[in-house]
Chains A and B, each alone.
Chain A
Amino acid sequence: MKNRRFRLSRQLRTDITGYAFLLPNFAGCLTFTIIPILCSLVFSFTDWEYTRGFGNWNFVGLKNYIDMWTDEWFLASLKNTLLYTASVVPVTILLALILSVLIDKYCIGKLPMRLAMLMPYFSSTVAVAIVWVMMYSSFGPVTQLVKWIGVENPPKWLADYHWALPAVILVTIWSTVGFAMMIYTSAIQGLPTELYEAADIDGASELDKFFKLTVPFLSPTTFYLLITNIISSFQVFTTIQVMTGGGPGNSTSVMVSYIYRSAFGYYKMGYASAMAWILFLMIFLVTLIQWNGQKRWVGY
C-alpha cells in the first residue's frame, strides 16, 4: 500500500525521462533561439538605439516597418538581394543539372571530376573570397583572361559600380554549383533504368530522353534545390562582406549586410530587427510556396 503510493505512474516516469533527455538541448534552444526571437519581435516595434541602454525605448508601432520603404539603402539592399538571388539560383541549378547528367552519362573518370567541382564548396568562405579578390585584381587571372580575349580596358570588377555585383554572383555560382551537382548526382543514381531501356527500344534520341524522362524525374530534386538555394541566397553575407563590404556605394549591399550595419554600426537595434523580420517574411513566403508546391508542381 505504502509502496504503491510512492511509486510514480508509468506515464509520469516516461515524461520525466523524456524531459531529462530533452533538457540540455531545450534549455539552449530556449535561451539562444526562442527567447531571442521574441525579443527581436519586441525590439522591432521600438525606436531603441543601443547606446541609450537596455529598456530605454519607446514603442513606435509599425514605424520601423513603414520607414524602411523610404530608406534608400534598404531599398538598394533589397533590390540587390533579389537580383543576386534571381541570377545565382537559376544559373547554379541549370549548370548543376547539365553537368551532373553529362558526367553520369559520358564521363570517363567520374569521381575526380566530381571532386574537382565540389572542392570550392568545401573551402573556407573567407579564404575563397580573398582568393577571388586577388583573381579580380589587375594582375589576377580573370583580368588577364579578359585581356587575352581582346578587351583592352577590362573593368575594375570589384571597384566598379556596375560590375561588382555580377563579379560577386560569379563567385557564388562557382562555389555552390558543385554542391547542387552532388545532390543531382545522387538523385540520378536512383532513376529507374527500365524506362530508359524502353525509350531506347522506341528509338528515342538522347535529347528526348533528357527532356521527357530525366528532367521530369528530377523535378523533386530541382524543387528542393530551388527552395534551399533561394533561402540561402536571401541570407548571403560573408562573401559580400569580405569581397566588397557592400560597396562601391551601395552597389553590392544586401539585406544582411545592411542589417549588420544598422545594428552594429549605427546601433539602431529596433530598425535592424524590423528589417530582419522582413527577411524572415521573405523566407517564410518561399517556404509556404514549397509546402503548397510540393504537391502540385512536383511529381512523376
Chain B
Amino acid sequence: MNRTKRTGFDTALKRRFGRDYKAKIVFTVLIGAIALTMTVPILWMLSASMKKALDVTKLPIDWIPDYFYPDNYVEVWNIGGKARRNYHFALAYFNSLKVTLTCVAGAVLTSTMTGYAFAKIKFRGRNVLFLLYLATMMIPSQITIIPKFVIFDALKLVGSHKTLILPGIFSITGTFLMRQCFMQIPDEIRESARVDGASEFRTWLQVMVPMAKSSMASLAIIIFLWTWNDYLNPLVFLPNWRLQTIPLALNSFVSEAGTEYHLMMAAASSALIPMFVMFIIGQKQLIKGITAGAVKG
C-alpha cells in the first residue's frame, strides 16, 4: 500500500518535472540559495530602511524587524526642506527626473532621425560620416570630459543642468541601435510611401517610426538607466548642491550623515524606485536594450 503510494508520487513528480526530477530539485534548491544570496544586500537595505536608528547596528541582525518604521522615508524626503543641509533629497530627485526624462526624449528623437538617415537615405558622404560615428564609439567618455568642462566653462554653463542635457540628447550608441532597426525594415515600404507622394519626413514620422517602436523603447530604457546612474558628469559639472542629481545627493548625504544608517538606507531604497519600475514595465525591451548597449558602462 505504502509502496504503491510512493511510486504514485514518484510518477507524479516525473510527469511534472521530467525524468531527471531528482537532479532538478537539488539544483533548484542550490540555485535558489544563490539567488537569495544575490538579493541579500537589497533585502538588508529594505530591512534597515524600516528600522529605528539603534536597531540597524544591533547584533545579531534582525532581518525582519518586529515593527515597520516608515518615518525614515518621511524624514529622508524632507531633508533639506526644514533642516538646512547641503543636500536636498526631494530636490535631487526632481533634478534627476528632469535631466533623465529630457535626455531620454531628446536622444530617442535625434537617434531615430539619424538612424533612419544612415539606414535609408542614400545621400553622398553617408559612408564616411558613418565611419566617423563608428570611430567615436570606441573613445571612452573620460577623454571628452576635460574638453567638455573647458567648453562649458567658457560658455558659463558649469553649474547648470544644460551640461548634462545638451550632450545627453545626442546619442551615438542610439544612432547605431536605430540604424540597425531601420536596416531590417524593407526598402519597398519606404519607396511605396514615397511613390504615394509622402515627403521623406512624413514617411519617417508616419510609416517608419511606428514600425521602430520596440527599438525606440529599448533605447529609451538604456538611456534612462545610464543617465539616472551617471555619476562622473554631474560630479564634474554641478558644483552647486541645489542642482545635484540623485547619485551625488546620495553620496553627499552619506559622507555628511555619519551614523544615520537607517536614513541612508531609506534614501538608497528611494533611489532604486525608478529603476525597478523600469525593470517591471519593460523586461523584454530592457534585455534587448542592454544587450545592444553593453559596451558603454
A and B form one complex: yes
Give the B-binding residues of A (Cβ under 8 A): 11, 14-15, 17-19, 21-22, 24-29, 31-37, 39-40, 43, 50, 54, 99, 102-103, 105-109, 112-113, 116-128, 130-135, 139-141, 144, 174, 177-179, 182-183, 186, 228, 231-232, 234-238, 241-242, 256, 259-260, 263-264, 269, 272-273, 276-277, 279-280, 283-284, 287
Whole-angstrom CA separation of A103 from B295 in the bound complex: 26
A43 and B125 CA atoms in complex are apart in Å by: 30
**A173–chain B nearest beta-carbon distance, Å:** 11
Task: Out of A17, A119, A284, name the residue touching B38 (CB < 8 Å).
Answer: A119
Digit string of B57-97 for contact with A (CB within 8 Å is 1, else 0)? 11111000000000000000000000000000000000000
- Binding stretch for chain A, among B3-11, B147-155, B185-193, B211-219: B147-155
A139 in complex: contacting residue of B56, B235, B265, CB < 8 Å: B56
Contact A280 B139 (CB under 8 A): yes
Pairwise interchain contact B167-A102, C-beta atoms closer than 8 A: no
Q: Is the interface of A mostly helix, strand, loop or mixed?
A: helix
Distance (whole angstroms) from the CB of B161 to the closest CB of chain A? 15
Cβ contacts A to B, 10 pairs, < 8 Å: A32-B148, A33-B139, A34-B132, A37-B143, A119-B279, A124-B247, A232-B297, A238-B232, A256-B232, A264-B236
Knowing A32-B167, A117-B35, say if A54 contacts B172 (CB, 8 Å): no
Contact B136–A34 (Cβ < 8 Å): yes
Alpha-carbon distance between A116 and B268 when the two chains are bound, in angstroms: 18
Contacts of B275 in A (CB 8 A): 122-124
Interface of chain B, main secondary structure: helix
CB pair B229 A124 closer than 8 Å = yes
CA of A231 to CA of B272, assembled, Å: 26
A125–B275 alpha-carbon span in the complex (Å): 11
**Is B105 in contact with chain A by the CB < 8 A criterion?**
no
A107: contacting residue among B31, B141, B267, CB under 8 A: B31
Query: How far is the CB of B293 from the nearest CB of chain A, in Å?
Result: 10
When the two chains form their complex, are residues A269 and B150 in contact, meaning their CB atoms are under 8 A apart? yes
With A18-B126, A36-B151, A141-B61 known to touch, is A134 a contact of B264 (CB < 8 Å)?
yes
Query: A241-B231, A276-B142 known; A144 and B295 CB under 8 Å?
Result: no
Tell me which residues across on chain A come within 8 A of B276, comparing CB atoms: 122
B138 at the interface (CB under 8 A from A): yes
Residues A130 and B136 in contact, CB atoms below 8 Å apart = no
Question: What's the least CB distance linking B54 to chain A, in Å?
Answer: 11
Judged by a CB distance under 8 angstroms, whether B183 is at the interface is no
**Set B58, B124, B139, B150: member contacting A15, Cβ < 8 A:** B124
| A26–B42 touching, CB < 8 Å | no
Contacts of A242 in B (CB 8 A): 231, 251, 254
Task: Determine the chain B residues whose CB is within 8 A of the CB of A287 once the complex forms.
Answer: 138
Nearest 4 A-B pairs (CB), nearest first?
A18-B123, A28-B170, A232-B297, A36-B147
A174-B114 in contact given A40-B146, A124-B246, A235-B142 (Cβ < 8 Å): no
CB–CB B48/A99 < 8 A: no
Is A33 a contact of B172 with CB atoms below 8 Å? yes
Q: CB distance A113 to B35 under 8 Å? A: yes
Question: Using a CB-CB cutoff of 8 Å, which residues 14-59 of chain B contact chain A?
Answer: 17, 20, 23-28, 30-32, 34-36, 38-42, 44-45, 48, 56-59
Contact across chains for A113 and B31 when beta carbons are under 8 A apart: yes
Across-interface contacts of A232 in B (CB, < 8 A): 294-297
* B271-A127 in contact (CB<8A): yes
Known: A32-B167, A107-B24. A134 touches B294 (CB 8 A): no
Nearest CB of chain A from residue B99's CB, rounded to whole Å: 14
Please name all residues of chain B whose beta carbon is closer than 8 Å to the beta carbon of A280 when the two chains form the complex.
Answer: 138-140, 143
Interface residues of B in 241-269 (CB under 8 A from A): 246-247, 250-251, 254, 261, 264-265, 267-269
Map CB proximity to A onto B101-118 as digits: 1 under 8 Å, 0 otherwise.
000000001110110111
* Chain A residue with Cβ nearest B114: A25
- A135 to B251, alpha carbons, bound, how many Å? 16
Return the chain B residue nearest A128 by Cβ.
Answer: B41
Additional A-B contacts beyond A107-B31, A127-B268, A178-B38 (8; CB < 8 A): A17-B201, A112-B35, A113-B32, A126-B246, A183-B294, A231-B297, A259-B142, A260-B232
Bound: A117/B40 CA distance, A: 11
Contact between B129 and A26, CB atoms less than 8 A apart: yes
Does B144 belong to the interface (CB within 8 Å)?
A: yes
Set of chain B residues within 8 Å of A122, measured between Cβ atoms: 225, 275-276, 278-279, 286
Query: Could you tell me the distance in whole angstroms from the C-beta of B79 to the nearest C-beta in chain A?
Result: 15
Please indicate the chain A residues that have their CB under 8 angstroms from the CB of B171 in the complex. Answer: 25
How many Å lie between the Cα of A71 and that of B274 in the bound state? 42
Question: Are A103 and B140 in touch, CB under 8 angstroms?
Answer: no
A-contacting residues, B223-242, CB 8 Å: 225, 228-229, 231-232, 235-236
